[in-house]
Amino acid sequence: MVNGAENQSPHHVAIIGGGFGGLYAAKALGNAPVQVTLIDKRNFHLFQPLLYQVATGTLSPADISSPLRAVLSNNKNTKVLLGEVTDIDPDAQKVILRGEEVTYDTLIVATGVSHHYFGKDEWETLAPGLKTVENALEMRRRIFLAFEAAEKETDPEKRRAWLTFAIVGGGPTGVELAGAIAELAYSTLKKDFRNIDTAETRILLLEGMDRILPPYKPELSAKAAASLKKLGVTVLTKALVTNIENHVLTVKQGEQIEQIPARTILWAAGVKASPMSKVLNQRTGVELDRVGRVIVEPDLSIAGNPNIFVIGDLANLSQDGKPLPGIAPVAMQEGEYVAKLIEQRLAGKPAPPFRYLDFGSLAVIGRNAAVVDLGYVRFTGLLAWLFWVFIHIYYLIEFDNKLIVMIQWGWNYFTRKRGARLITGNESLGIVAVDVNGDYYVPGESKSTVEV
């Protein structure tokens, strides 16, 4: 079956991926004289910057997700297709899915990146990353199960391992996770346990570089580190994880090697291009960078294929000698740029190369604390936190009215409660309980200890 371009006339734009890049491109093409097909394997757009709040029990997945069909329902020229792209054929101008094909005149690839375990793929189950809703629920399950297991554990050493949380990677995600877990342990859960004192929880943030938030200005990194310290987080810089085995993390700092027993290890380091980049490389010969991202032309198209664009985290483009960071604002601007460029081309007009307008960077550290760097001004603390809240609400509201999130945050702020701290899973498959030996098991099954 061949979808799209059923009637010959309108120019057909196929977009692969409904993240910030793909969705902003689709939205910007809503009134253009084109047909649009947005293909995603999930039926919703995920507001990834807030995924750590799902992982730590503040928000629910639906609070930060918008159904793609709903977001685009008023764009009459746009179709949403739920499916997984397995290949492309640039000569025939076709995208190949399971059992179906979509022809295109212009193709936009925006499939993003996943985590990179520096060649240690076996660490993925030991230290889950945070890219999908399922990742976040897995983190949430592990975090809250760890406190449950500690409550049951009588051996002080083992209990300490359950109460040790190690976050690998000191970028914004790692910083935000560490801050949120600190609030959980030292505030939210304080009165909930009878055998353990959650104040004994140890939270480690490990960063390989010499400071956390390396892309930020050094003084902001220092302020963020100070805020984390105040919250109770131990920040280790120049710290490389060399092994994860038997619930022990091996960390190398300079010449010093430390073995840290930690039952909960969360991964917030390294990126790896999604499989579409290899497909593009094989089909078009386009060059990939070290982590597999696609090296794009100044107009975000790929060499030799002016009608194929790569945007968002999957694209590698340098500006003023520095590669653009893999963050939502870059993806959004790229999506809008390509939409505009397609319209210009159809009108026979030239388009200038893409230029990213940096409005600044920000990271939240915990209740009342964040760092904001707008380039011309930098600030930290409560003001930065309020700024962070405002920006995130603003973008969430753009899609679907997520006022509810603001109310939830307001409520959490005043009560310090976290209503979403459920341990869930697929009961027939998942891990939802922990026995007195600290082994995970599946309730209802005789004895199926699961190794994580």
Active-site positions?
176
d(CA 179, CA 414): 17
Candidate residues 103, 173, 277, 408; the one interacting with a second copy per rule CB under 8 A: 408
Residue 270 beta carbon to a second copy: minimum distance, rounded to whole angstroms: 19
For position 9 contacting a second copy by CB under 8 A, the verdict is no
For position 63 contacting a second copy by CB under 8 A, the verdict is yes
Residue 260 beta carbon to a second copy: minimum distance, rounded to whole angstroms: 26
Q: How far apart are the first and last CA of the chain?
A: 43
**Site string (364-403) toward a second copy, x via CB under 8 A:** ------------------------------------xxxx
Candidate residues 69, 120, 238, 345; the one interacting with a second copy per rule CB under 8 A: 69
Map residue 87 onto helix, strand or coil: strand
For position 82 contacting a second copy by CB under 8 A, the verdict is yes
Residue 175 beta carbon to a second copy: minimum distance, rounded to whole angstroms: 24
Kindly indicate which of the ranges 209-217, 304-312, 341-349, 433-441 contains the residues binding a second copy, using the contact rule CB under 8 A: 433-441
Contact of 174 with 186, CB cutoff 8 Å: no
For 251: left if phi > 0, alpha if psi spans -120 to 50, otherwise beta; the answer is: beta
For position 87 contacting a second copy by CB under 8 A, the verdict is no
Residue of 238, 181, 217 whose CA lies nearest to 371: 217
Contact positions with a second copy (CB under 8 A) in 160-219: 189, 191-194
Per DSSP, helices labelled H in 186-275 are 218-231
**Closer residue to a second copy, CB minimum distance, 357 or 436:** 436
Residues 6+ apart with CB under 8 A from 410: none
261: its two tokens: 């027993």
d(CA 397, CA 150): 39
Contact of 159 with 193, CB cutoff 8 Å: no
Per DSSP, helices labelled H in 267-365 are 276-284, 328-346
Candidate residues 89, 100, 197, 245; the one interacting with a second copy per rule CB under 8 A: 100
d(CA 119, CA 142): 24
**Closer residue to a second copy, CB minimum distance, 111 or 301:** 111
Residue of 104, 90, 86 whose CA lies nearest to 41: 86
**Closer residue to a second copy, CB minimum distance, 201 or 301:** 201
For position 404 contacting a second copy by CB under 8 A, the verdict is yes
Residue 59 beta carbon to a second copy: minimum distance, rounded to whole angstroms: 8
For position 353 contacting a second copy by CB under 8 A, the verdict is no
Bridge partner list, 249 = 244, 260
3-state helix, strand, coil in the chain (%, to 5): 35, 25, 40
Residue 138 beta carbon to a second copy: minimum distance, rounded to whole angstroms: 8
Residue 117 beta carbon to a second copy: minimum distance, rounded to whole angstroms: 15
Contact of 337 with 300, CB cutoff 8 Å: yes
213: its two tokens: 């938030």
Contact of 6 with 69, CB cutoff 8 Å: no
Contact of 326 with 113, CB cutoff 8 Å: yes
For position 421 contacting a second copy by CB under 8 A, the verdict is yes
Contact positions with a second copy (CB under 8 A) in 114-153: 132-134, 144, 148, 151-152
Contact of 204 with 234, CB cutoff 8 Å: yes
Candidate residues 11, 12, 27, 79; the one interacting with a second copy per rule CB under 8 A: 79
For position 434 contacting a second copy by CB under 8 A, the verdict is yes
Kindly indicate which of the ranges 13-21, 72-80, 288-296, 384-392 contains the residues binding a second copy, using the contact rule CB under 8 A: 72-80
398: its two tokens: 């753009």
**Site string (286-305) toward a second copy, x via CB under 8 A:** --------------------
Residues at the interface with a second copy (CB under 8 A): 1, 41-44, 60-63, 65-67, 69-70, 73-74, 79-84, 97-100, 132-134, 144, 148, 151-152, 154, 189, 191-194, 400-404, 407-408, 411, 415, 417, 419-427, 429-430, 432-437, 441, 443-444
